[in-house]
Copies of this chain bind each other. A is one copy, B any other.
Amino acid sequence: METDVKAMVQEKALAAKRASRAMASATREQKDRALEAMAGALEKGAPEILSENAADLEQARGGGMAPAMLERLALNPKRLADVARGLREVAALPDPVGGTIDTRTRPNGLRIDRVRVPLGVIGIVYESRPNVTVDAASLCLKAGNAVILRGGSEALRSNLALEKAIQAGLSQAGLPAEAVQVVRTRDRAAVLEMLKRKAEIDVVIPRGGRDLIDFVLRESWIPVIRHDIGNCHVYVDAAADLGMAEAIAFNAKVQRPSVCNAMEHLLVHRAVAGAFLPGMIRRFQEAKVEIHGDEAVRALAPGLKQATPEEWAEEYLDLVCGIKVVESLDEAIAHINRFGSQHSDAIVTRDKAAAGRFLKEVDSAAVYVNASTRFTDGGQFGMGAEIGISTQKLHARGPMALEELTTMKWVVYGTGQVRE
């Protein structure tokens, strides 16, 4: 059985590598035609996709899956329509491939260009949401890559039905169906085998909770782009406009608490804690936000839950907010660098020097002064659709959009030059 899984993954990896050559030479028109055809195939195939998804849901329910997880797994006509619209939006984006980044001519006459090319074969390892299957595949394809998808085992039937529609779209546009492949097994050995196939797979992108990401980081022989948790902070400085601080902290926590760029922890300088926190906490409580405070916060607003030392490093992804009073800008920066996840962190202040130090010294993908952390997003940054937010420092940092799904190569034009 394990040999079968290995052989299957190997076969898919080799097929993906072959397909990646054709994808790298595909024109923008071909790729966009494929994306449009996929959207059509999804709409046409909706009854079958929904029925396979219903089978996945029934099995998951029988296995005792929690309601929140079932909700992530579920497709419905509206979600499918959103997925199809997403495909057409990606088709409308500019092609990131083929441009010349820069060019130089050396004293010996060599002309050296850097040109943008696809990464090659991308492996995506993710959890239960089947819409990721189509969203991730469409961005990888538009950037000229082939992709191998390994979603949650509980979504396997849904993913195979979606693969059918995607491959139909590729074939209609004259592109190889193997440019998008779903790993057809629930066996976890398939992930391990994927993570070792460095001769065929150029990069692995894990999407999911911390356990999945840590597993992939530990096991992979292939470069990984990490999309880690978002433990984002807002720091209200001694020189903050307190009205602005309240609006920003409220937005960052409440507008959409389940996403990675939502604020998890609020830090407040002691000098303004008394003036700021009682009103802020009341407003949070009216919005059903559960507050966990340190001693200083609880002294200002009695009856709050005590924040545990561990939770400063946690992502609640819910209407929960940890609040801490700090003695200084230094303490705020040190706290964020120690407990944060290098995602998005904001300072609210009128003090330019304090803002400058925060922006420079906080070691996160996105640092803000006087704005909500909720803007860390490909669309909001003007980059178009994104495959995730990278919280590591190599290759892509922050929103990972089409350009971040490409690489470059050096193209050297000579007239017979040799090295002296």
Contact = CB atoms under 8 A, between A and B. Distances in A.
Given A224-B223, A370-B416, A374-B418, A364 B409 contact: yes
A301 interface: no
A409 B104 contact: no
Contacts of A332: none
Interface in A130-166: none
A345 to B, nearest CB: 10
Q: How many copies does the complex hold?
A: 2
A413 B104 CA distance: 34
A410 B203 contact: no
Interface in A86-136: 104, 106, 110, 112, 119-120
A407 B393 contact: yes
A179 interface: no
Interface string A342-366: 0000000000000000011101111
A371 B420 CA distance: 12
A411 B25 contact: no
B393 A381 contact: no
Interface in A390-419: 392-395, 397-398, 407-419
Nearest to A392: B223
Contacts of A407: 393-394, 397
Contacts of A217: 198, 221
Nearest to A357: B25
A223 B206 CA distance: 14
Interface in A223-269: 223-225, 241, 244, 247-248, 250-252, 255-256
B409 A366 contact: yes
Nearest to A104: B382
A78 interface: no
26 contacts: A24-B361, A25-B361, A106-B382, A110-B375, A119-B393, A120-B393, A202-B392, A202-B394, A203-B394, A218-B221, A223-B224, A244-B416, A248-B416, A251-B418, A256-B419, A366-B409, A367-B409, A367-B411, A367-B412, A370-B414, A371-B412, A371-B414, A372-B418, A372-B419, A380-B419, A395-B395
**In the A-B complex, the 4 residue pairs with the closest CB atoms:** A371-B414, A251-B418, A374-B419, A394-B395
